[in-house]
Structure 1
Amino acid sequence: MKKTDLMTMTAAIALATSSCTAPDKTTDEGPIIGRQEITADNGRMTPEILWAMGRIGSSNVSPDGKQIAYTVSYYSVKENKSHTVIYVMNADGSDNKLLTSSAASESEPVWIKKGSKLAFLSKGQIWEMNPDGTERKQLSEIEGNVDGFKFSPDESKVLFVSQVKYGKRTADIYPDLDKASGKIIDDLMYKHWDEWVESIPHPFIAPFDGNKVGEATDILKDEPYESPMKPFGGVEQLAWSPASDKIAYTCRKKTGLAYAVSTDSDIYLYDVASGKTENLCKDYTANPQKKDDKNEGYDINPQFSPDGKFIAWQSMEHDGYESDLNRLYVLDLEKKEKFNAASAFETNVDTYVWTPASDGFYLTGTWHGTEQIYRLGLNDWKDSKAPVKITEGLHDYGSISLSGDRLIATRHSMSQADEIYSVPVEFDGNFAKATQLTNENKHIYDKLEMGRVEERWIKTTDGKDMLTWVIYPPQFDPQKKYPTLLYCEGGPQSPLGQFWSYRWNFQIMAANDYIIVAPCRRGMPGFGVEWNEAISGDYGGQCMRDYLTAIDEVAKEPFVDKDHLGCVGASFGGFSVYWLAGHHNKRFKAFIAHDGIFNMEMQYLETEEKWFANWDMGGAFWDKNNATAQRTFANSPHRFVDKWDTPILCIHGEKDYRILANQAMAAFDAAKMRGIPAELLIFPDENHWVLQPQNGVLWQRTFFNWLDRWLKPKE
């Protein structure tokens, strides 16, 4: 593909004259963004095509199981904006209709009033409408915005999340300095992810008479704690009991330094009538499997069983270890006993739902590079029974919900963004055959040719088998030689499954005639606990040898141009790039690091979530008697700049408070001062990710311009 193709595709995208929007439809807030048609030169993916894709969001099945409401978000590169709309379709995927077309984004559809209405969020308030989109009516008038909501099963009340003020502003201390921009800080967690923490989410409960949401009560009134927990928690961290008399909520009742060094959140049970609260993780310690398990790590996402006798949640054992094994804990509310229902599962329980009979679960988990659906009996742990695998294939399942005899799930792969599928829960011994219900981006896929995705198993330096994904360019010709990229996954303990990304997208890399090598190196879940835990305190060790083994093995292929290898990655992947830049022995001809750690001593002090630095780095750099910590900091990439010899592109967002942007600036400065070709791409208004359309296109153009400059021989 010519470089100019990337620069001209914006002009090739036009709004479709479909039911989603009309191209000339505008409001006082600007044009409405809807589904887009594209043209694709040579059937190749481009940045503009990626941003033209509709993105499937949440979904909800009607009480009778006959209809599914769901959301799609659309983006406009020209307007640099997004717009979320609500669709409804029959349960078999037919009769798909757009329900909302206002300029405001509308989201979180939930069926209420026995399926006769759909509740949803618009302009920060709760609304309702008929299932055909008519008779829209605002239900709430909450001061501030509603971030998420759940109606009680009897619909007499609504539980919602809204922000409350946290801490003092400068103007609170000095009222005469109300225009001062300085912040006075006296404890940690003053910043988180991409914000200065001046508000926190609280759960509120309010009566609902069928027409209006009444006056709300803050469940955590005057308590300085988050629920749901920042930065990513939502209403999935809250749950109603079937009798509508109790609420389970997730909370880490800590602030400041105590919060910054701990992952110890708990599940609390709030009695609606009395207002009393009890801690289900700490107040109940009777555990048939492990008497001393006090649930000292993350405990999140509670769900009551349909019969109300049990409550389940996802649980980690160790305080401070955010990538600990994610178990499925159950509390028998009558016997007051807790147990790990998934004790024989060798990987994380990522999502789960109860069976209608309250006798087990459907859940998802990653194993050997794909995320599949499993069935688990409530008491299978007694016989050490592992969950039964229901699905198989080169794809990942995401969210799941139960509707009668089938699951409604999102599914994606390295070759397809999220779509909604129906998965039968009963099958004949073979894996269940899923039915695709949505085809949001079919009109785009039909114009593209995707590269082949291949799984390989490679022997590591310590004799272990490592799964490595290899993605080939469209129209791959084994007689040619292709520049090849080593992809370094972030996390560091995130799975490298069949993921679809709108930035780190393997198909757009392949469309630019690169082969991609993506190893599931040490530290990733889905290969057993030992493999997962091997990375902590050993950033410069076996995981790096795994990377080099993968690229060296694939580079033996005659179609790999081993003289033009590149290395790219973000977050821990960015750290990996910086580290490999000082240890690659001239393997690579170009590097790209996004949001990576360059100086680990500074990272230890700069990052906001100190528990991560303490666990993964092994401790503080000033603790000279801590061998693990000293090994970690001795392997900081900045210590090996004297060995850098290869062009490097450094990318970072200035609103990234997980890894501060000065890390990329320092790496860029070091490269330039050493006389190494380098480039710096800084986003003043992006966080650890790149979320705005024009910034996303700029990211892709800069990415491929850099790679093409160094990895594609001049003609």
Structure 2
Amino acid sequence: MRVTPDLVLGLAAQVPLSSLDRAQQHDTAFDNDSTVHASRAFTPKDLLQQPTVGTGIPNPSGTLLFVPYSQFSLDTDTASHTLHIHSVDALKPREYLHEIILPTAGDAFWYDDSTLITTIPDATDRTTSLYASYFSQDGRPENVASTSSGVGELIGVLPTDSAANFHYSSASHHLVFSARIFADGDLASAVQQERAWKGRKDSARAYDGHDYLRFWDQYSDPSHSSLFSTSLSAYGGRWRLGDTYVNLLNGTAHKTPPLDGLGAAFDVWGSQVVYVTKAPDLREPFHSKKNVYLIDIDGRSRPRELTSGARGEAFNPVFSPDGNLIAWLEQPEDAAVASKRYVVLYNIKAETRLKLLQEWDRSPEAMTFSADSTMLYLEAFDVARVKAFAYPLYDTPSTTAPVALTRNGHASGLQPLSNGRLIYTHRTLTSPGSIILLNNIHAALSDMSMITAREVMQPSASSFTAPHIYAAMEEFWFDGYARKIHGFVLKPRGWSPDTANKSWPVALLIHGGPEGMWGDSWSVPFNAHVYSQRGYFVVVINFTGSSSFGQAYSEAIYGDWGGAPLHDIVNGLKHVYGEYPEIDPKRSVAVGLSYGGYMVNLLQGRARELGIEFAALASMDGIFSTEYLAYTIDLLFFMRKEWLAWPWENQTESTYGNFSPHKFVHNWQVPQLIIHGDKDFRVPVTEGIATFNALQQRGVESRLLIFDNEPHVFTNPHNILIYYEEIFEWFERFAGSRMRVLS
């Protein structure tokens, strides 16, 4: 289990800004506002310093649980990373049995019921160290050796700091992990080869179109990721970590995990490893198709392909606990990111495949088997939530749909336990995470009243910045362009029936994807409550193309990026104006990220003709010319599918012309803030520069913020803080301040 902080988005100004001082000034302003609730407002600074809860991983017998836990401090500019050990049967979820303080983010896995292994990379020595901590069944540490890192007994060192995704097989005493290597496949010399590559005297790069030219925020280099196995055992109190690292994919041209893979890339059971890789005969930028392979854990056999026929992405391969079955998720169509996902069940002994849930109008994001191998647990988007589902594998009619085990929030990291129990990480629009235990799942399949839920772990009260009062999600449906469309509002901080006659500003937040969604889930890059707490009436629309409302709803955006979604957003905003007369339409603002940035740019040229006027706009990593993006995006296959053809093909010329924001520059007149990272290779920074230059040519008030070394999703917390504050300052400059509403 990788212990890493959440990816976060932000922006940085061209001129250095004192982000902490600016945030503290706004905190004081909120605290002194007598018309607002006694609780302190939830600010961007608070958002960035909330604890992050990872996936809870139980030990083999299901008695103990480790939970990755991290928290960033803006004041000290440091992130803390810890592992909390909990009892699964704990009655007080805020009390952990033991805490392992990590010097940096790393991995962890159970060796057995009472031994936890943590892996710590060292960027200076370019190695990864493995440490063992020992616990009794009540979770208290036993015989933990005193080391400088404080993470347990040092049991061995791997010769690379790129090792990750550790899986241990107690049956074969093998440790399997991924790491980056070069063409010779040798792990021991990989660091030396990387130094030689980066230290070469020339700076030339050559590409032939087979591999990605660049992906996300990095140009491709001669290295790639592969899978390795080595021995790991403990006898007589002595640890033995093998010094021979078997490259399981040597001589195959397979790369695992693949750069553009979805979800988990491999799993281990007994003496076998199942993994996914992009089909090696395909050009990477033009295809999403992945194959599934089975190989011996010692690398003595050649990989055997388990997939067959025409299809697209395959991901999340997993063994059943009894070792008889392998399941994975698959898409029927190549190069279609949002196409329907179904389950493939593979019988290892019979070598047969069975496709499941092809008729279910939801697409699983991840899955695992129940502890007794009779059921699948799935994560899937469902009506603005991500729910946990159960699906019995035997005596189940093919038309039977999975049973929802959760109702609200975002369920992830499903971990099965014995006796029909399931542990998962639960996040909501107002909570960064807790660990939930579900009981009686088998009985609940016929009677949902039998299921019980209990918190096993939640962050301590002291880890939160302050008590905050959040607005409730008020969901609504309205008539969109071609179907009923979902959305919700958050009322602003300070709203009450007595203030309902005030003229509140409204902030329209537009999600990316475009097949993303707004829902009951925690977010750092784009947190709706930060806007609500600032005094905005927040409106979000799950326009045509959004996930969680069925496949037809999602796929209807193909070839129609600027058609139905644009009208859905306009109709939804008008609907909210009618339902909430306390909103002042003249003080409407809009902000969008990625596809949302594209839509902001399109609204800049189209909103007025459709009857909507904005006081100010902000686009983040947005698109200026969809035609140009089709040639510069890293995932070349993405735009071809989304727009149904290449831009140079005759049948799409009118589509690209009708829906590209740059075609409507002559209408641009709303003040706009543009935000972009200069290492964004998904939507290159030139899109943001072109948007700004077009506004400047038009004489429209505009401001461009470019951030060094930031990709499509920003990672520097200080940049995130600046991003929020810059947005607020821009909106309040043109739409009036929050104080004006509350005075």
- The interval holding the TM-score normalised by the smaller chain is 0.7 to 0.9
Correspondence for 2:178 among 145, 161, 164: 161
SS in 2 for 1:99: strand
Query: Alignment partner for residue 617 of structure 1, among 637, 640, 643?
Result: 643
User: 1:631 is paired with a residue of what secondary structure?
Assistant: helix
Match in the other structure for 2:245? 216
Distance change >3 Å, CA 379–CA 406, structure 1 → 2: closer
- Which one of 383, 387, 412 corresponds to residue 398 of structure 1? 412
Cα pair 1:86 1:107 within 8 Å, conserved: no
129-138 vs 475-484, which moves further: 129-138
Which residue is equivalent to 2:149? none
Whether 1:53 and 2:75 are equivalent positions in the alignment is: no
**2:403, 2:412 → 1: CA distance?**
18
Describe the superposition over 1:240-273 as per-residue Cα deviations: whole angstroms up to 9, x where unpaired.
13xx121101101337x71111111011011235
| 1:275-329: CA deviation from partner (whole Å, max 9, x where unpaired) | 22111002xxxxxxxxxxx252110111111222211001111011011112111
Report if aligned partners of 1:81, 1:693 keep a CA contact under 8 Å in 2: no
SS of 2:585's equivalent in the other structure is strand
1:139 to 155, 158, 162: 155
Aligned equivalent of 1:345: 360
**Structure with the larger RCO, 1 or 2 (CA within 8 Å, 6+ apart):** 2
Tell me how far 1:665 sits from its aligned partner: 0.8
Please say if residues 273 and 296 of structure 2, whose CA atoms lie closer than 8 Å, have aligned partners that are also in contact: yes
Which residue in the other structure is 1:491 paired with? Answer: 513
The 1-side partners of 2:181 and 2:411 are apart by 35
- Counterpart in the other structure of 1:111: 110
Q: Distance in 2 between matches of 1:11 and 1:678?
A: 23
Instruction: Tell me which of 335, 338, 344 is aligned to 1:329.
Output: 344
Question: Which residue in the other structure is 2:491 paired with?
Answer: 472
Tell me the distance in 2 between the aligned counterparts of 1:654 and 1:177.
23
Q: Secondary structure at the match of 1:639?
A: helix
Letter in structure 1 aligned against 2:99: L
CA contact under 8 A between 1:166 and 1:224: conserved in structure 2? no
1:94-105 matches, within 5 Å, as: 94=92, 95-102=95-102, 104-105=103-104
Shift of 1:709: 1.2
* Change in CA separation of 1:533 and 1:4 when aligned onto 2, cut-off 3 Å: closer
Q: Return the offset for 1:8.
A: 4.5
* Contact 1:366-1:495 at 8 Å conserved across structures: no
The aligned amino acid for 1:126 is: L
List aligned pairs for 1:435-474, cutoff 5 A.
435-440=454-459, 442-443=461-462, 444=464, 447-462=467-482, 464-474=483-493
Looking at structure 1, the residues matched to 25 and 394 of structure 2 have their Cα atoms a distance apart, in angstroms, of 56
Whether the 8 Å contact between 2:562 and 2:659 is mirrored in structure 1 is yes
Q: Which residue does the alignment assign to 1:712? A: 736
Q: 1:237 to 1:336 in 2, by over 3 A?
A: same
**Residue among 656, 666, 687 paired with 1:663:** 687
Secondary structure of the equivalent of 1:485? strand
Aligned residues of 1:191 and 1:197 also touching (Cα < 8 A): yes
Report the secondary structure of 2:693's partner residue: helix
- Say yes or no: does 1:676 pair with 2:704: no
Alignment of 1:90-489 (within 5 A): 90-93=87-90, 94=92, 95-102=95-102, 104-113=103-112, 115-123=113-121, 124-131=128-135, 132=140, 134-135=144-145, 136-145=152-161, 146-154=163-171, 156-165=173-182, 178-187=200-209, 188-198=211-221, 199-210=223-234, 211-214=239-242, 215-231=244-260, 236-241=264-269, 244-254=270-280, 258-272=283-297, 274-282=300-308, 294=309, 296-379=311-394, 382-393=397-408, 395-404=409-418, 405-424=420-439, 425=441, 426-427=443-444, 428-430=447-449, 432-440=451-459, 442-443=461-462, 444=464, 447-462=467-482, 464-477=483-496, 478-489=500-511
For 1:378-405, what per-residue CA distance to the aligned partner results, in whole angstroms no more than 9, with x for missing partners?
1466431111122213x12121101223
Equivalent residues, number? 664
Which residue number in structure 2 is paired with residue 67 of structure 1? 64
- For 2:424 and 2:49, the matched residues in 1 are separated by 23
- When residues 522 and 11 of structure 1 are mapped into structure 2, their CA distance, relative to the original with a 3 A threshold, is closer
CA contact (8 A) 1:391 1:433 kept: no
Of residues 86, 89, 95, the one that matches 1:89 is 86
What amino acid sits opposite 1:217 in the alignment? Answer: V
**Match of residue 511 from structure 1:** 533
1:223 deviation in Å? 4.2
* Distance (whole Å) between structure 2 residues aligned to residue 331 and residue 175 of structure 1: 42
Residue aligning to 2:73: 76
Counterpart Cα distance in 2 of 1:447 and 1:91:
27
C-alpha separation in 2, matches of 1:8 and 1:487: 22
The answer to whether the 8 Å contact 1:150/1:159 transfers is yes
Q: Hey, what's the Cα distance between the residues in 2 that align with 1:107 and 1:432?
A: 35
In structure 1, C-alpha distance between the alignment counterparts of 2:367 and 2:199, rounded to whole Å: 50
Aligned to 2:9: none
TM-superposed CA distance for 1:176, in Å, is 14
- SS of 1:350's partner is strand
For residues 338 and 703 of structure 2, the distance between their equivalents in structure 1, rounded to whole angstroms, comes to 33
Aligned amino acid, residue 573 of structure 1: G
Deviation at residue 12 of structure 1 after TM alignment: 8.5
Q: Which residue of 1 aligns with 2:31?
A: none
1:176 to 1:43, Cα distance in 2 relative to 1, 3 A: closer
Q: Secondary structure at the match of 1:504?
A: coil
Q: Which residue identity is paired with 1:141?
A: V
* 1:569 equivalenced with 2:592 (yes/no): yes
Alpha-carbon offset, residue 418 of structure 1: 1.7
8 Å CA contact 1:54–1:73 kept in 2: the answer is yes
Q: Partners in 2 of 1:80 and 1:176 — Cα distance? A: 29
1:72, 1:84 within 8 Å by CA — same for their partners in 2?
Answer: yes
User: Retained in 2: the 8 A contact 1:159–1:206?
Assistant: yes
In the alignment, the residues of structure 2 paired with residue 120 and residue 11 of structure 1 have an alpha-carbon distance, to the nearest angstrom, of 40
Q: Partners of 2:652 and 2:347 in 1: how far apart?
A: 40
How far apart in 2 are the matches of 1:191 and 1:41? Answer: 50
Query: Is the contact between residue 316 and residue 366 of structure 2 (CA under 8 Å) also seen in structure 1?
Result: no
TM-fit CA distance, 1:101: 2.7
SS at match of 1:437: strand
TM-score, structure 2 as length reference? 0.84
> Relative to structure 1, is the Cα distance of residues 229 and 41 closer, same or farther in structure 2, using a 3 angstrom cutoff?
farther
Q: What's the counterpart of residue 536 of structure 1?
A: 558
2:581 alignment counterpart: 558
Any conservation in 2 of the 1:78–1:694 contact (CA below 8 Å)?
A: no
Q: Is the 8 A contact 2:55 2:412 kept in 1?
A: no
2-side partners of 1:638 and 1:676: how far apart?
Answer: 15
Query: Displacement of 1:579 after TM fit?
Result: 0.9
* Cα displacement (A) at 1:183: 2.5
AA paired with 1:406? R
Once structures 1 and 2 are overlaid, which stretch shifts more, 534-543 or 472-481? 472-481
Q: Which moved more, 1:434-443 or 1:46-55?
A: 434-443
Stretch moving more, 667-676 or 519-528: 519-528
Could you list the runs of 5+ residues in structure 2 that have no partner in the other structure? 1-17, 29-36, 122-127, 146-151, 185-189
- Letter aligned with residue 178 of structure 1: R
Looking at structure 1, the residues matched to 436 and 318 of structure 2 have their Cα atoms a distance apart, in angstroms, of 23
Instruction: Provide the C-alpha distance between the structure 1 equivalents of 2:220 and 2:80, rounded to a whole number of angstroms.
Output: 27
CA contact (8 A) 1:6 1:701 kept: no
Q: 1:439: Cα distance to partner?
A: 2.6
Residue 579 (str. 1) matches residue 602 (str. 2):
yes
RMSD, matched Cα = 2.8
